[in-house]
Amino acid sequence: MDESSFILGVDLDGVVGDFYGAMREIAAEWLDRPLESLKKEVSFGLHEWGIDEYGGYDRLHRFAVTQRDLFRVMKPIKDAPATLRKLSVRGIRIRIITHRLFLKYFHKTSITQTVEWLDAHDIPYWDLCFMKDKGAVGAHVYIDDSPSNVERLREQGCRTIVFSNSTNLQLPGPRADTWQDVERLVMEAYDEWRTGTLNLFGASSFPR
């Protein structure tokens, strides 16, 4: 398989891994509050949990990764690993693109936990990219849950699927509520690519 393959750009947190579920459990401990007191439906930044008066999101994130192995212990989102295996077997190149290195001084920890988690759940990938500008690495179709990432990718002309959660309900589709939806949307794009008709939201036909 080479760069002429169909490439699926996959975000991890909130798409493949249950980031918000894991963070909710860690935040309950960090805040010394009952788990049920923390809302499941949150916005980007987790302000609903009242973390700002305790140092804010960056401080909670640092604790979660360095002291509670966040990227190693979070559970996969239902059907994500199995669906990625199916897509990989069909010849789709999985390119993991994540912005997990946005905080300084513990990059090695974040990278190590990420690789171990992917291997532990047998999640196939050909490329693993840690970067903010996801459009810079290239993919035929992206899937992401972050509102800012989705908007930026679409502004760049990238065909992007929104993976639904409470942080992104305001975004227009195409949208996947489950990994069965992801599989269907990706295979539709893959079939278009194979026939040379894959378009990027009204742009000219995507080169094969």
Residues recognised as catalytic: 11, 13
Place of tokens 């077997």: 89
**Position 44 confidence tier, pLDDT thresholds 50, 70, 90:** confident
Provide the 8-state DSSP code for 2.
-
The full set of domain ranges for the chain reads 7-17+75-194, 19-73
- pTM to 2 decimal places: 0.88
pLDDT digit string, tens, across residues 175-195: 999 999 999 999 999 999 988
Query: CB 18: neighbour CB atoms within 10 A?
Result: 18
pLDDT at 85 over 60: yes
**Position 108 confidence tier, pLDDT thresholds 50, 70, 90:** confident
Q: Distance between CA 173 and CA 175 in Å, rounded?
A: 4
pLDDT digit string, tens, across residues 112-141: 999 999 999 999 999 999 988 888 888 999
For 131, half-sphere exposure in the C-beta direction (CA atoms, 13 angstrom radius) is: 13
Dihedral sign, Cα of residue 130, residue 45, residue 152, residue 92: positive
Q: Distance between CA 194 and CA 184 in Å, rounded?
A: 15
Q: Tell me the average pLDDT across 101-107.
A: 67
Average pLDDT, the chain: 89
What CATH class is the domain 7-17+75-194? Answer: alpha beta
Length of the chain: 208
Q: Which of 81-85, 101-105, 141-145 has the lowest mean pLDDT?
A: 101-105
